[in-house]
Amino acid sequence: MVLVIERIPKRQRQQQLAKAIEENPFITDEELTRLFQVSIQTIRLDRLELGIPELRERMKMMAEQSYDQVRSLPLHEVIGDVIDLQLDKSGISIFEIKEEHVFSRTKIARGHHIFSQANSLAVALINDQVALTAAADIRFVRQVRLGEKCIAKAYVRSISKGKAKVEVFTYVGDEVVFQGNFIIYHSKKDRSEGGGAHADRD
């Protein structure tokens, strides 16, 4: 059965819109248009009336509200936009695949860009001025195409003297497209085991 969502009362639609954005802050106006089966102008007016900024502004706000600052490398060297970072715990970045990231004929993203997003986020998580990737066990689950947004979620699984284990899952929508397990060497010698409390994948 197909629901005719555009016929529901405006107030009810706006409530559902606000809930959809709260559940997925990365959702675009175009995706909301398809979800609610109304015009993009209607979506934009609804957002305006609700005081909800557009996607780019939402991302900027989330980045400014990140709990910690990257210590191991300059923020501009992290591939993708870091929108949440808790040092030695977890982090999230978002990376849009553009023309310069894909093969010209197939419009499929070059693998090293997907890897670099995950790898740089894993390094950025470490609360140390010196952090380097020592090893990586990676798996490309499916191809990523032009225009898709990659959301990388990284979790520190354990951290000890001179070494941290970081797991990264990269999503397009709800679908995992890349998974990586990284061993990151760092210079601090007084670390205790941790990360177990932050082992959730979502």
Q: pLDDT tens-digit profile of 12-41?
A: 999 999 999 888 887 889 889 988 889 999
CATH of the domain at 183: 3.10.129.10
Based on the fold, state whether residues 19 and 111 are members of the same structural domain: no
CATH of the domain at 24: 1.10.10.10
Tell me the C-alpha distance between 159 and 163, whole Å: 6
Domain hosting 40: range is 5-60
Whole-angstrom Cα Rg for the chain:
19
Based on the fold, state whether residues 47 and 72 are members of the same structural domain: no
Based on the fold, state whether residues 47 and 73 are members of the same structural domain: no
Q: How many domains does the chain have?
A: 2
Tell me the C-alpha distance between 75 and 82, whole Å: 8
Based on the fold, state whether residues 70 and 56 are members of the same structural domain: no
78 versus 150: which is more confidently predicted?
150
Locate 71 and state its tokens. 């210590």
Supply the pLDDT for residue 194: 45
CB count, 10 Å around CB of 65? 9
Among 27, 42, 60, the domain boundary falls at 60
Tell me the C-alpha distance between 114 and 111, whole Å: 5
Confidence band of 190 (pLDDT split at 50, 70, 90): low
Based on the fold, state whether residues 139 and 177 are members of the same structural domain: yes
Q: pLDDT tens-digit profile of 158-187?
A: 998 889 999 999 999 989 999 999 999 998
